[in-house]
Amino acid sequence: MEGIGGLHGWQWIFCLEGIATILVACLSFFFMHDYPETAKFLTEPERVHVINMLKQDANDLATHYHIRFVLQAMGDYKTYIQVLIYMGLLVPVYAIALFTPTIINELGYSATSAQLLSIPPFVAGCIATVLVGIYSDKCNLRGPFIIGGTFVSMLLSAYIQPSRLILLGQARMQEAT
């Protein structure tokens, strides 16, 4: 789209993403419901169930904010362990997401081909995420699915050496993450 409308290709990316965001926001205004009472898609038993769940959740919440709660969380070692776990998850994911096109480009593909070849791993990851979510909900288990995905990702990270298998490895690692 370089040059169309007097804009560079990178400017078109921002325009198209912005237009999509605005369209979704406008559609959300008409389809999102503020309260279960106004949600037309809920049946009466579902509405009662959702309202009861919200009341139970509200009972467990503090009614006021106090700095003591923040200091208590900051003083708990488990907070920092969770931060490290989260960083350990996000750093490799974003490294893969940001550098996949560069890695593919270094294999000798053109920049355009590298961008296009970096799409399948993320599509596979998206499909795997949805499927794992569905099956973990059906089994009412999270741990085994998380551990299994992490284990597959670690094995593929350690195993993939030949450059021809990098794309397959990227797809599998994205699925596991």
Which structural domain, as residue segments, surrounds residue 144? Answer: 77-177
65 inside domain: no
pLDDT at residue 152 in the model: 83
Token representation of residue 11: 């400017």
State how far the Cα of 88 lies from the Cα of 145, in Å rounded to an integer.
Answer: 18
54 inside domain: no
pLDDT at residue 18 in the model: 94
133 inside domain: yes
71 inside domain: no
44 inside domain: no
53 inside domain: no
Which position has the token pair 């990098």?
A: 166
- Give the count of domains, the chain: 1
State how far the Cα of 101 lies from the Cα of 112, in Å rounded to an integer.
Answer: 9
Question: pLDDT tens, position by position, for the chain (177 residues)?
Answer: 777 888 888 888 899 999 999 999 999 888 887 788 888 888 899 999 998 988 887 776 667 778 888 899 899 999 999 999 999 888 888 888 888 888 888 888 888 888 888 888 888 888 988 999 999 999 998 889 989 888 887 787 777 665 555 555 665 555 555
The whole model's pTM is what?
Answer: 0.51
Are 39 and 48 in contact by the 8 Å Cβ rule? The answer is no
- The 8-class DSSP code of residue 89 comes to H
55 inside domain: no
State CA 174 to chain mean position distance. 11
70 inside domain: no
State how far the Cα of 129 lies from the Cα of 175, in Å rounded to an integer.
Answer: 7
